[in-house]
Amino acid sequence: GAGVSQSPSNKVTEKGKDVELRCDPISGHTALYWYRQRLGQGLEFLIYFQGNSAPDKSGLPSDRFSAERTGESVSTLTIQRTQQEDSAVYLCASSSSGSSYNEQFFGPGTRLTVL
C-alpha cells in the first residue's frame, strides 16, 4: 500500500510569508508526528497527534508554528511569518496505534527554504 506522503516536496518562500505543509499518513495509522531536520542535524520533534486525544505540542519552537489533524487522516503544519531559521526539511511520520512499540514510518519530507 501507499506510504506516508507529503506535499509540496519543495517550498521556497520569502521571509514573512506564511506556509502550509501537508502530510497524508498511512491509512489506519492513528498516530502522526511532525519533525524538523535542519541541514546535517538530527530529528527535532515538533508535535504528536494520537487519535482523538489532545496533541502534544511541546516541541513547537514558537507560536508561529501550529498544526492540525482531521480525525485520523491528513495533517497540516502551518508556519506563520516565516524566518530564515525556519529553513529545514519537515518530516512527517505515522504509526499504527498508541501502543509502545510501533514503528514510525516517515514521509519523504518537505524542504522549506526561506529567502
Partner 1 sequence: GENVEQHPSTLSVQEGDSAVIKCTYSDSASNYFPWYKQELGKRPQLIIDIRSNVGEKKDQRIAVTLNKTAKHFSLHITETQPEDSAVYFCAAKEYGNKLVFGAGTILRVKS
Q: How many residues bind partner 1 (CB under 8 A)?
A: 25
Residue list 77-96, contact with partner 1 (CB under 8 A): 91, 95
Distance CA 4, CA 72 (A): 13
20 binds partner 1 (CB under 8 A): no
Question: Which residues, in sequence order, are bridge partners of residue 91?
Answer: 35
Quote the least distance from Cβ 48 to partner 1, whole Å.
5
Of 79, 78, 72, the closest CA to residue 95 belongs to 72
Site string for partner 1, 94-113 (x = CB under 8 A): -x-xxxxxxxx-xxxx----
The residue from 33, 34, 65, 90 that contacts partner 1 (CB under 8 A) is: 33
Question: Beta-strand (E) ranges in the chain?
Answer: 5-7, 10-13, 19-24, 31-37, 44-50, 65-69, 75-79, 88-95, 105-106, 110-114
Our finding on whether 54 is near partner 1 (CB under 8 A) is no
* Binding positions for partner 1, rule: CB under 8 A: 31, 33, 35, 41-43, 45, 48, 50, 56, 58, 91, 95, 97-104, 106-109
